[in-house]
Amino acid sequence: MATAKEPERNEKKTMRTITYREALREAIAEEMRRDERIYILGEDIAGYGGTYGVTKGLIEEFGEKRVKDTPLAEEVIAGAAIGSALGGLRPIAELMTMNFSLLASDQIINSLAKFRYMFGGQAKLPVVIRMPAGGGAQRGAQHSQMLESLYAHIPGLKLVMPATPYDAKGMLKASLRQDDPILFIEHELLYNVKGEVPDLGVHYTVPLDQGIVRREGKDVTIVTFSRMVHICSQAAEDLAKEGIEAEVIDLRAIRPIDLDLVLDSVRKTNRVVIAEEGWKYYGTGQGIAALIYEYAFDWLDAPIAHVTGKDVPMPYSKVLERAALPGKAEVIAAVKALVPARATAGVGAR
Amino acid sequence: MANTKTPQPGLAKRESAPADPDLWIRMYQQMVQIRLFEEQVNDLYKTARMPGLAHLYSGEEAVAVGVCNALRRDDYITSTHRGHGHCLAKGASLDRMFAELLGKAPGYCRGKGGSMHIADQDTGNLGANAIVGGSAGIATGAAMSAKMRGADQVTVCFFGDGALGQGVLYEVMNMASLWKLPVIYVCENNLYNEYTHYTETTAGELTARAKAFGIHAETVDGQDVRGVYEEARQAVNRARQGEGPTFLLCDTYRYYGHHVGDIQRTYYRAKEEEDFWRTERDPIKLLAGWLVEQQVSDTVTLDQMMADVRAEVAAAVEFALAAPFPDVSEVDQHVYA
Ligand SMILES: Cc1ncc(C[n+]2csc(CCOP(=O)(O)OP(=O)(O)O)c2C)c(N)n1
Ligand SMILES: [Mg+2]
């Protein structure tokens, strides 16, 4: 599969810099203007504008009918989204954080993911459930989780995890123009990240099944997604100064996964580091590693390395939280352990 | 949104002669302790010595203090994201509380829990849960354990008005009523679920929910510590005698924001509303006024007590600031699988 295109050159002229938060808000507003069936529901999203400010101002433009504050009842938020989709609407459900999606997980897994199949193809479920995830702000064990792998395991769900404002907007717009259930997973520490996005009025979407090469390299492939993309890109810049050229792949979507993009890169570099914020055991990264072993085993020169969050509930204390979260140093160390002297010596090992 | 129920200034008349003046004095000291603790927490946040997401209990002190004084040390409580007051009222010490909030090694959870997750099993505090409604099942199970063991311990489940949105509340009340469990559901109605007035998220009458399950329900002025104590005492008696659960609705108010970072509040509640509660409905002032009026104490003595507590709080925060962080190796401790 081809690398997804960054904006064309002629588009570049009309780019502007906005935050991830603003990109999401624009996507919602533009799609709500286009399609009257789209509405949004969640806790404190109307008057307050959402815990992370994504939905600020939407109530003024679209009114209470289409921007709905709900009681604190995640299971009902998900259930109501499903029911209203069966009734012909196109809901966006905002769950305040992914941690609370666990209260909605019965509706998500037992109904949202299953109806189309279980009812012999009858049900269309254009439901987008948005939720921030992740740690790093000392919010403690119940407010810092990256739980995408729980849902990635489930047939019947699509998981989107954009890392940049450009992708956040383009993928949210694409999500609202298709008919399948989507878990749209944001990261709490990405909302203020800035990036280039086409001017207002320039329409674009980003496909929901394509990753992107953030940085080309020949020595090692770093496969990552969500906030870790930024950490891995910084690690790659540092590594380049030491003569190691890492290719950074941003998966952008976890399910379906753009496996071709990963395998193409593995065939080129023969070494892989998978970097993610979540836990190691039975997680997304292990799933990806298993796929690489299955389809590209012969191309590997070394076992796949894995950078993950520590296998513990997130501790609160800053010294412990720092130790529990993967960072640039861990990515660099993993790469160096995989790519021994060859890059510095300037000689390929193969 | 405007308040639907107009709170009245001052205290309702209540016939509760101070059988034990020491008890009222102790409650005064505990409320002051919580108030000054929270002021210090706010200060630690504002001076960037503590991270955000601390939810202050200021204004709601009479609820925790009134309820916990009706309990024995071996009775259980479960707490919430707004839990500092519950912990202190149940007997936690100031210095280890501060240490936990600062992520330090002597903290109640060795810095692993933080502001939203303090447990102190020595004082019967089974732990704070930062998932709204997250303690409802746990408190009910703890009550069940007492009943199964033949012990007469009572469990109090604290939760906010927002938790009434969660289905689990109704599932546990059904079970607790069926099984006559010694549990008291204490709903702290501070009028807001985060930034939304509870009347916009909560239909119908609040205590009718409990009554529908055949649970004894009472509403009490949550700013009147003597009233809270009296209702809690009766609920505890019923529970100990095997008469089953009680739902206690406490009308109260939080003075600060939803969390320490919530400082611009005028778009969801009026400054006048905040001022009214602070000046006319303050639980500490109300009790102090009553103590003086009844000649249980006098302003000089009460002011001295406040100064003493202030010194204790200052010493405790100093202890916590000086305390070491946990060793990084502790990140792997307490994991068993
Ligand atoms: C299941 C769940 N949903 C959402 C949240 C985020 N949240 C934390 S506190 C809170 C409001 C709770 O309101 P209330 O129960 O009235 O307690 P108060 O903060 O007023 O004391 C919300 C929505 C959460 N912690 N858990
Ligand atoms: Mg409340």
User: Whole domain around residue B64: which residue ranges?
Assistant: 21-274+300-322
pTM (predicted TM-score): 0.95
| Total domains present in chain B | 1
Output the tens digit of pLDDT for each of chain B's 337 residues.
344 567 788 888 776 655 689 999 999 999 999 999 999 999 999 999 998 789 999 999 999 999 999 999 999 999 999 999 999 999 999 999 999 999 999 999 999 999 999 999 999 999 999 999 999 999 999 999 999 999 999 999 999 999 999 999 999 999 999 999 999 999 999 999 999 999 999 999 999 999 999 999 999 999 999 999 999 999 999 999 999 999 999 999 999 999 999 999 999 999 999 999 999 999 999 999 999 999 999 999 999 999 999 999 999 999 999 999 999 999 999 998 7
The contacts of residue A3 (CB under 8 Å, 6+ apart) are: A212, A213, A261
Residue A13 belongs to some domain of the structure: no
Residues of B in contact with A64 (CB under 8 A): none
Task: Return the sign of the alpha-carbon dihedral for residues B217, B220, B222, B226.
Answer: negative
Residues of A in contact with B130 (CB under 8 A): 140, 142-143
Closest CA to A250 of A295, A298, A195: A195
Phi/psi for B99 (5° steps) reads -60, -40
Residues of A in contact with B332 (CB under 8 A): 310, 312
Give ion ligand 2 contacts, CB < 5 A.
B 160-161, 190, 192
Residues A187 and A218 in one domain: no
Residues A128 and A155 in one domain: yes
Residues A28 and A171 in one domain: yes
Q: Is B142 on the interface with A (CB under 8 A)?
A: no
The answer to whether B245 touches B216, Cβ cutoff 8 Å, is yes
Residues A134 and A247 in one domain: no
Q: Chain A neighbours among B 94-113 (CB < 8 Å)?
A: 103-104, 107, 109-113
Of B52, B131, B328, the CB nearest to A320: B328
Task: Return the sign of the alpha-carbon dihedral for residues B118, B123, B126, B129.
Answer: negative
ipTM of the complex: 0.94
Ligand 1 lining (C-beta closer than 6 Å)? A 43, 72, 74, 96, 100, 103; B 55, 81-82, 130-132, 160-163, 190, 192-194, 258
Peptide bond into A256 cis (omega under 30): yes
Residue B110 belongs to some domain of the structure: yes
Residues of A in contact with B202 (CB under 8 A): 71
Residues A173 and A243 in one domain: no
Residues A185 and A227 in one domain: no
Residue B12 belongs to some domain of the structure: no
Q: What is the CATH number of the domain that holds A269?
A: 3.40.50.920
Residues A189 and A140 in one domain: yes
Catalytic: A153? no
Residues A248 and A145 in one domain: no
Residues A160 and A113 in one domain: yes
Task: Tell me how far apart the alpha carbons of residues A195 and A212 are, in angstroms, rounded to a whole number.
Answer: 16
CB contact under 8 A, B195 and A48: yes
Q: Is B207 on the interface with A (CB under 8 A)?
A: no
Q: What is the CATH number of the domain that holds B144?
A: 3.40.50.970
Residue A174 belongs to some domain of the structure: yes
| Total domains present in chain A | 2
- Shortest distance between the Cα of B162 and any Cα of chain A, in A, equals 6
User: Whole domain around residue A276: which residue ranges?
Assistant: 212-341
Nearest residue on chain A to B106, alpha-carbon basis: A317
Q: What is the CATH number of the domain that holds A136?
A: 3.40.50.970
Q: Which two tokens stand for residue A324?
A: 């529990």
Residue A348 belongs to some domain of the structure: no
Residue A207 belongs to some domain of the structure: no
Residues A177 and A314 in one domain: no
- Shortest distance between the Cα of A312 and any Cα of chain B, in A, equals 7
Q: Which residues of A touch B (CB under 8 A)?
A: 43-44, 47-48, 69-73, 75-76, 99-100, 103, 137-143, 310-312, 315-320, 323-324
Catalytic: A143? yes
